[in-house]
Structure 1
Amino acid sequence: MTPRIAIAHDYLTQRGGAERVVLALHRAFPEAPIHTTLYDPDLTYPEFRDAEVITSPLNRIGAFRRNHRAALPLLAAAASSIRIDADVVIASSSGWAHGFPTTGKRLVYCHTPARWLYLTDEYLGGGSDAGLKGAVLGALKPGLLRWDRKKAAEADAYLANSSIVKERIRKVYGIEADLLFPPHSVDITQESKPIGGLEHFIGDGGHYLVVSRLMPYKNVDQVIEAFKGLDERLLIVGNGPLLQTLRQQSPDNVRIVANLSDAELAWTYEHCTALIAASYEDFGLTPLEAGAHGKPTIALRAGGYLDSIVEGVNGVFFEEPTAASIRASVRSSGAIEWNQEFMVEYCNQFSEQNFGRRIKSHVQRLLNSVNKYDLRVGWRAD
């Protein structure tokens, strides 16, 4: 009998690296339903329309689908109400999916323990509304901490998506997680597509590129500041709470676009000089996407970028997420001669095929622990 596998994810209301991991899991387990608290097919990757997506009752409220952060006081209860009947649930989690109850085993693929609980100041950032958000979160935090740690302890196995997340899991949960880097899903054979209205700005290429959610800890504001006065163009691809604020701060040599198709995103990579990555990432996925297109990354020497970038092979580092440090690295990186063949070969080690083989191996290990099924019925785990 074929084992019953299910996939869980916090919410499918945005486009980012975590959602790309869920798509990779879906391709590895195409028959597995995806359980989540909130789902808006217009706000996330279109490939999810081909999957069976099962949501919590919160999904009936449109305001929550448009802004999942507004649902924070209700998400623990919503997560606890999602009951999954499966032999193994693979929970792609940064705060909620690791708490979905199941009748079988639970394998948590952790992008990070919840930022709003364990990295609160970084998550909130500054700004006029940070104080109000902090007050609300402060009132909820004791109960959420109890819920979060209890659910983490109930998991049967934990996987960390980067070295820094592995250490964070050990620190906050006391769990020794195995390390499994996420895949890049770049298909270089896919035909790219220009972004309408940007042909004049992009020209023949040569722009610098940022691909990021527009959140305070992503430091996109500092990249924009770095390009003020530079004789270079910067294209930012992303969406998030700071979209309008960052657009207002942008000089004439900076453009921000949101909700691109994969073909349009490929076009931005293909024509750029380099990617700039200034955020504190749990894993540095975008440098692998850039490298698969033969383009280097100028990155903050911190967090997950230390896992995905080999200096001199697919990128260089700057030391501080400040405009001055970023500007200096942009100016100096132009003198480097990159070996695109080495770059592409390195980045392809993080392929979706390798990721799929390893995740299947971890699932098989859990199935073996209950002597229930062999995943090699219908497909191979090795």
Structure 2
Amino acid sequence: MPQLFTHLRQLFPRPAAREEIAIAHDYLTQKGGAERVVLAMHRAFPEAKIYTTLYEPEATFPEFADAEIVVSPLNRIGFFRRNHRYALPVLPLVSSALKVPARKTLVSSTGWAHGFNFAGKSFIYCHSPARWVYLADQYLGKNESSAMGYALKILLPLLKLWDQKVARRAGTYVANSTTIQQRIKDVYGRDVDIIFPPFSLQVDAAEAPVEGLEDFLDDGDYFLLVSRLMPYKNIDRVVEAFNLMGKKLLVIGAGPMEEELKNMAGPSVEFVANIADEQLRFAYAHCKALLAVSYEDFGLTPLEAGAYGKPTIALKAGGYLDTIRESINGVFIEKPTVENICSAVERFDPEAFDAGKIQDYVQSFSEERFIQKLRERISSL
């Protein structure tokens, strides 16, 4: 098997460096925290092209239209642009073949982009080693027995072999949180620094209510959850808790569990997806508090809520330990159970938090700080 990857590398020799700086990311097919980080990277280096396997403009942030996007041949297949998870069997080959002809490349990776074919030095901003490889059970959740689950189990040894090989070949790594710092140590054997990602919503920009939900949001008596609809996010337990309490919950996000979650939701729970930033800003600005009870690598959404002075009810685990301070911007629950969620929401007192202190605290995670650190590290490559 190792010889296979050696032969593959011979098929894709390193390109000559024609650009000074480039940006690389796995795929631009969704709206999420990693994609917002890529936009911040592009604001740091606006001259850089962005290299990625797949790009679906309608599914990701419209600001990417201002960048020059270079895609792999796989992008010609519309099904994969709309369903990138089904491309998993061919992504090792596609990633290895994607040439990035730059002297320096700033890489945003959740598992694929660190394996692109770089002409020069690469600086890997690691959101996580591939979750589908090292946390497969958590990644699949209830879908473990699905066709996708069986396919992943069959491919797992090959995917892990590819990932370990490209990690040894790749350049400098940095983690986005303490959780990922430890995970990189565990799976790659590397001791790395941390650069926390920024929150990027413009607080002073325009707001607009979500169409069709004006009455639902009007009184500001709703809780908010912003997340991809994935099994490990624990959204089903939040929905079940709010069904029991009859309190209002707005869920913003898309993903493979969307239909299942909508079917289990009661009348006090609403779902929206792929909304404009103006509507996301409105949702944050007018909610009572944010719910964040998933196992996250970095706790980004509490920072976005905090930019509007809103506190968070968060799971005491993972990336939320980096961004939540109980005396300042939120409270913790110990486990993501329906009982714990109900108890925390019922006890929650928004008057116990100072909106100004919350906003002051989240400024330590500003985009300006993030860009400064990136420029310093790239210049030192």
1:133, distance to aligned residue in structure 2 (A): 2.1
Match in the other structure for 1:89: 105
Match in the other structure for 2:327: 312
3-state DSSP of counterpart to 2:295: coil
Count residues in correspondence: 364
Match in the other structure for 2:358: 343
Q: Name the stretch that deviates more: 230-239 or 327-336.
A: 327-336
Task: Note if 1:156 corresponds to 2:171.
Answer: yes
1:132, distance to aligned residue in structure 2 (A): 2.5
1:231, distance to aligned residue in structure 2 (A): 4.1
Q: Name the stretch that deviates more: 332-341 or 270-279.
A: 332-341
Partners of 2:218 and 2:287 in 1: how far apart?
A: 11
Match in the other structure for 2:123: 107
User: Which deviations, in whole Å up to 9, do the C-alpha atoms of 1:52-87 show, x marking residues without a partner?
Assistant: 000000000000000000100000000011111111
Match in the other structure for 1:194: 209
Partners of 2:211 and 2:179 in 1: how far apart?
A: 39
Identity, % of aligned positions? 52
- For 2:277, the aligned partner's letter is D
3-state DSSP of counterpart to 1:228: helix
- For 1:341, the aligned partner's letter is G
Task: Note if 1:277 corresponds to 2:295.
Answer: no
3-state DSSP of counterpart to 2:255: coil
Partners of 1:348 and 1:159 in 2: how far apart?
A: 21
3-state DSSP of counterpart to 2:331: strand
Give the 4+ runs in structure 1 shifted more than 6 A. none
Partners of 2:265 and 2:356 in 1: how far apart?
A: 35
3-state DSSP of counterpart to 1:73: coil
User: Which deviations, in whole Å up to 9, do the C-alpha atoms of 1:184-241 show, x marking residues without a partner?
Assistant: 0121110101111101111221210000000000000000011113242100000000
Decide which of 9, 32, 39 is 1:16's aligned counterpart. 32
Partners of 2:364 and 2:150 in 1: how far apart?
A: 44
Match in the other structure for 2:232: 217
Q: Identify unmatched segments of 5+ residues in structure 1.
A: 367-382
- For 2:50, the aligned partner's letter is I
1:131, distance to aligned residue in structure 2 (A): 3.8
Decide which of 23, 47, 65 is 1:7's aligned counterpart. 23
- For 2:149, the aligned partner's letter is G
Check conservation: 2:289, 2:350, Cα contact below 8 A.
no
User: Which deviations, in whole Å up to 9, do the C-alpha atoms of 1:284-319 show, x marking residues without a partner?
Assistant: 000000000000000000000000111120110001
Partners of 1:23 and 1:364 in 2: how far apart?
A: 19
Partners of 1:130 and 1:310 in 2: how far apart?
A: 38
Question: Superposed, which structure 2 residues align to 1:59-208 within 5 Å?
Answer: 59-127=75-143, 130-208=145-223
Partners of 1:316 and 1:152 in 2: how far apart?
A: 37
Partners of 2:61 and 2:258 in 1: how far apart?
A: 19
Match in the other structure for 1:369: none
1:3, distance to aligned residue in structure 2 (A): 7.2
Q: Name the stretch that deviates more: 181-190 or 287-296.
A: 181-190
Partners of 2:193 and 2:170 in 1: how far apart?
A: 13
Partners of 2:214 and 2:339 in 1: how far apart?
A: 29
Task: Note if 1:52 corresponds to 2:68.
Answer: yes
Match in the other structure for 1:34: 50
3-state DSSP of counterpart to 1:113: coil
Partners of 1:76 and 1:111 in 2: how far apart?
A: 18
Check conservation: 2:56, 2:81, Cα contact below 8 A.
yes
1:255, distance to aligned residue in structure 2 (A): 0.2
RMSD of equivalent CA atoms: 1.2
Q: Identify unmatched segments of 5+ residues in structure 2.
A: 1-17
Partners of 1:272 and 1:130 in 2: how far apart?
A: 37
3-state DSSP of counterpart to 1:4: strand
1:336, distance to aligned residue in structure 2 (A): 5.0
Question: Superposed, which structure 2 residues align to 1:292-311 within 5 Å?
Answer: 292-311=307-326
1:144, distance to aligned residue in structure 2 (A): 1.2
Match in the other structure for 2:41: 25
3-state DSSP of counterpart to 1:268: helix
Partners of 2:131 and 2:350 in 1: how far apart?
A: 38
Cα distance change on mapping 1:35 and 1:11 into 2, 3 Å: same
Decide which of 257, 262, 272 is 1:242's aligned counterpart. 257
1:340, distance to aligned residue in structure 2 (A): 1.1
User: Which deviations, in whole Å up to 9, do the C-alpha atoms of 1:14-52 show, x marking residues without a partner?
Assistant: 000000000000100001000000000000000001100
User: Which deviations, in whole Å up to 9, do the C-alpha atoms of 1:342-376 show, x marking residues without a partner?
Assistant: 1100101101000000011111111xxxxxxxxxx
Q: Name the stretch that deviates more: 312-321 or 336-345.
A: 336-345
Cα distance change on mapping 1:118 and 1:204 into 2, 3 Å: same
3-state DSSP of counterpart to 1:264: helix
Partners of 1:148 and 1:172 in 2: how far apart?
A: 10
User: Which deviations, in whole Å up to 9, do the C-alpha atoms of 1:245-271 show, x marking residues without a partner?
Assistant: 101110000000000100000000011
3-state DSSP of counterpart to 2:99: coil
